[in-house]
């Protein structure tokens, strides 16, 4: 079943309109199977990485930092997060998250 195992009736029982269910599940499927999908980073510290990236991207887009400053600041903070969380531990978590058995 390309759209999952849930039935439209399950969504309708939760208050959804049947047409909305069909559109939503198709859009979700299309996004999830897109060739450019980037899965969520499933390691400890992931929210910190996203947070600092968002803040520095915003600073660059609003001209509070140059693009290079934003990139450099992001990279430096990511290194701090990685060191604090444990590089080897995160590598193991990442490998497990993507199903890498090497």
pTM over 0.75: no
Which residues touch 94 (CB under 8 Å, ≥6 apart)? 41, 42, 43, 100
What's the pLDDT tens digit per position in 36-95?
Answer: 877 788 999 999 999 999 999 999 999 999 999 999 999 999 999 999 999 999 999 999
pLDDT for the residue numbered 71: 98
Residue with tokens 């979700």: 28
pLDDT for the residue numbered 20: 92
* Ramachandran assignment for 99, one of left (phi > 0), alpha (psi -120 to 50 degrees), beta (any other): left
Asked if pLDDT for residue 35 goes beyond 60, the answer is yes
């Amino acid at each position: 079943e390309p759209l999952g195992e849930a039935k439209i009736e399950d969504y309708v029982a939760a208050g959804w309109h049947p047409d909305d269910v069909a559109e939503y599940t198709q859009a979700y499927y299309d996004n999830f199977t897109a060739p450019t999908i980037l899965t969520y980073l499933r390691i400890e510290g992931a929210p910190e990485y996203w947070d600092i990236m968002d803040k520095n991207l915003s600073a660059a887009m609003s001209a509070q930092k140059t693009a290079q400053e934003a990139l450099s600041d992001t990279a430096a903070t990511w290194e701090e997060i990685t060191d604090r969380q444990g590089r080897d531990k995160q590598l193991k978590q990442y490998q497990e998250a993507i199903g890498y058995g090497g």
